[in-house]
Amino acid sequence: MASTLELAKELIRRPSVTPDDKECQQLMIDWLKPLGFDCEKMDFNDTENLWAIRGNAAPVFVFAGHTDVVPPGPLGKWQFDPFTPTEHNGYLYGRGAADMKGSLAAMLTATKRFVDQHPTHKGSIGFLITSDEEGPFINGTVRVVEQLMQRQQPIHYALVGEPSSGKTLGDVIKNGRRGSLTGWLKVQGTQGHVAYPHLAKNAVHVSLTALSDLSNKLWDNGNAFFPPTSFQITNVEAGTGAGNIIPGELALEFNFRYSTEQTADSLKQQVEAILNQYELDYQLNWKLNGEPFITQKGELLDACQKAIKQELNIDTRAETSGGTSDGRFIAKTGAQVVELGPVNATIHKVDECVSIKDLEALSRLYQRILENTLL
């Protein structure tokens, strides 16, 4: 049996920059089929997806993840070629080492050991893998979940291999994520010469009070699982570049990271109420990137915390911090969802790497979680 390290290397060698899969999923299929998995490609447009399942009984435990990686950036800034997996000082270097090809390798080796040792385990084991997590997330996990729900295929437990750990492996797991809502606002004024302000209407000036209200508003106090909702202006554009022209239009982008105390609709209504209060002439477009979800204490969270204590002898923290993940789509099935993966210190960075020791430890953790849920 190939080691977790060897499998991670094989995956890293495939330059699967989103949404390209570069046959990473085929490698996984070649690994899973001999274990008795039914493997189904569920590709949509430019995105490759894999749904694999062994068994048809409850509970259904699913490993979820992605084969795509972010671009490596300037190659000259890397110590080693990002798609030539390199061992150095106890670490494996390469794009995707931590996010999340190391996790995929650990899932595969953990599953093989578990199935070999417990061929008549209860329940079923599934894999839900996409090549569109780092991209626009249009044709990936969200589409597969839609298909599975139409088939009435249940998912009871989902373990997402995102790099959740902070300083050491297993110190943090994610039992939920905040929602993300983006808005694009255009406020209209009247362009004019700065020497004749009475003949113009400065789009920046008329927007300032409303923007101040939005920036300073306490949207909620959060709750036991989430911090308060955050509103942040991320991009602003106004003016022509000339110093003697009053801007006739202000365009800006903003983002909410919000808790389960809010909904996307409630946030939209509150923003529009503030803009309308100041009688602004505006256009506003929205994109819901993901709704918040939470997995409260239950079988999966208990199984993960117990496994980390068994293998690493540490008490893990369950958090909802960080960005979005594909867990938000899987949660729509009613599944308990937890994210557990390597240390995230180098993800999306030059010289991305993962501890070689942690790779094998992560595989053992995943096997323990399978044992804690399916035995």
Final residue belonging to a domain, choices 290, 317, 333: 290
User: What are the tens digits of pLDDT across the range 149-163?
Assistant: 999 999 999 999 999
Q: Which residues are annotated binding-site positions for Zn(2+)?
A: 66, 99, 134, 162, 348
Which residues in the chain come in under a pLDDT of 70? Answer: 1
Q: Are residues 162 and 184 in the same domain?
A: no
Count of structural domains within the chain: 2
- Residue 25, domain extent: 4-177+292-374
Count of C-beta atoms within a 10 Å radius of residue 335: 23
Q: Which residues are annotated binding-site positions?
A: 66, 99, 134, 162, 348
Final residue belonging to a domain, choices 231, 257, 290: 290
Residue 128 DSSP symbol: E
Active-site option among 20, 68, 351, 371: 68
Q: Are residues 114 and 137 in the same domain?
A: yes
133 catalytic? Reply is yes
Instruction: Note the pLDDT of residue 1.
Output: 60
Q: Are residues 279 and 307 in the same domain?
A: no
Q: Are residues 256 and 200 in the same domain?
A: yes
Q: Are residues 251 and 357 in the same domain?
A: no
- How is residue 59 written in tokens? 């509970």
Sheet hosting strand 230-238, strand order edge to edge: 230-238, 249-258, 179-188, 282-290
Q: Are residues 160 and 224 in the same domain?
A: no
Closest by Cα among 320, 269, 271 to 294: 320
Note whether 215 and 140 are within 8 A (CB): no
